[in-house]
């Protein structure tokens, strides 16, 4: 099963390389159901894996001029602060058992996996929905900032990232396109830097809480994921990104429904 997990880790990188999101949506289920990592710890591992992989992808996009660093800073600061505070202080405050009714107990681990399933289904909608006309326009446009909305969105994405270990690319990319009027491909490259910064700094919050990290597993999984992002970047030049994004969206929707069903009824 470990070998299967490492092979699937390549898919995490391919997803980030192709569509700029979806990496964490795959990482947590792979770690929990294939690598047998405890769910709360899996969300911490996901932050490191996705953060390191996104950083490699972001650097690659920067060399091609597909990153707007000013936007990365404007959006990234509230997001980074929110994810760090969530991992360092909010997660430890959540009790191991949230509540019980008769024989049913809602534990912290089950609640996080259920929340993750809901996030997956939300992500699938944004992937399946056709892009609005002009969203994929690569021509240079004047980037304008709706600062209050960017600060609010960045903070909310940071809290969500901290809770479920999701990079949040499916939320960041639409926000950059809609709130900063950014062309899609520039938004994808910029989002990778934002994902990398907030995910890696969020992971530091877990280190502060002295989590028992399996560094060998984490390093190998991350290495395979980094290989995947190079494959994904190469394939992005060969495959219609719109069709791939839609197909991946349906896959994510099915996975989200499966996880929700499994945690509730199995």
Residue 100 CB-density burial (10 A; 0-12 exposed, 13-18 middle, 19+ buried)? exposed
Per-residue confidence at 218, pLDDT binned at 50, 70, 90? very high
- Count of other CB atoms within 10 angstroms of residue 65: 9
Residue 253, pLDDT > 60, answer: yes
pLDDT of residue 22: 63
Copy the structure tokens of residue 12.
Answer: 């995490």
Quote the CA–CA distance of 44 and 109 in Å, as a whole number. 13
pLDDT of residue 140: 47
Q: For residue range 135-177, what is the model confidence (pLDDT) as tens digits?
A: 444 444 566 667 777 788 788 878 877 887 666 676 777 777 7
Copy the structure tokens of residue 25.
Answer: 């949506």
Mean pLDDT, residues 93-114 taken together: 83
The torsion defined by the Cα of 171, 176, 181 and 187, in degrees rounded to 10, comes to: -110
* pLDDT over 70, % of the chain: 85
Residue 46, pLDDT > 70, answer: yes
What ranges do the domains of the chain cover?
Answer: 2-265
Copy the structure tokens of residue 26.
Answer: 């795959």
Q: Are 207 and 200 in contact (CB under 8 A)?
A: no
Mean pLDDT, residues 62-90 taken together: 85
pLDDT of residue 139: 45
Positive or negative, the CA dihedral 71, 188, 58, 45 is positive
Tell me which of 8-22, 36-50, 82-96 is least confident.
8-22
Q: Which of 34, 58, 71 is nearest to 189 (CA)?
A: 58
* Strand, helix or coil for residue 209: coil
């Amino acid at each position: 099963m470990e070998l299967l997990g490492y092979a699937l880790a390549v898919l995490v990188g391919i997803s980030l390389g192709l569509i700029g999101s979806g990496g964490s949506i795959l990482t947590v289920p792979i770690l929990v159901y294939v690598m047998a990592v405890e769910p709360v710890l899996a969300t911490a591992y996901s932050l490191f894996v996705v953060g390191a992989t996104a950083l490699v992808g972001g650097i690659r996009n920067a060399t091609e001029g597909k990153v707007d660093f000013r936007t990365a800073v404007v959006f990234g600061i509230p997001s980074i602060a929110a994810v760090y505070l969530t991992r360092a202080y909010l997660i430890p405050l959540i009790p191991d058992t949230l509540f019980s009714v008769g024989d049913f107990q809602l534990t912290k681990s089950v609640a996080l996996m259920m929340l993750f399933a809901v996030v997956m289904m939300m992500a699938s909608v944004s992937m399946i929905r056709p892009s609005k006309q002009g969203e994929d326009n690569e021509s240079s446009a004047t980037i304008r900032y709706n600062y209050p909305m960017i600060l609010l969105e960045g903070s909310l994405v940071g809290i969500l990232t901290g809770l479920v270990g999701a990079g949040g690319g499916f939320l960041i990319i639409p926000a950059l396109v809609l709130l900063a009027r950014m062309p899609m491909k520039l938004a994808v490259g910029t989002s990778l830097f934002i994902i990398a910064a907030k995910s890696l700094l969020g992971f530091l919050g877990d280190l502060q809480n002295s989590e028992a990290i399996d560094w060998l597993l984490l390093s190998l999984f991350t290495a395979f994921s980094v290989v995947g992002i190079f494959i994904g970047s190469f394939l992005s030049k060969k495959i219609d990104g719109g069709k791939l994004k839609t197909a991946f969206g349906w896959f994510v929707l099915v996975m989200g429904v499966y996880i929700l069903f499994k945690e509730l009824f199995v």
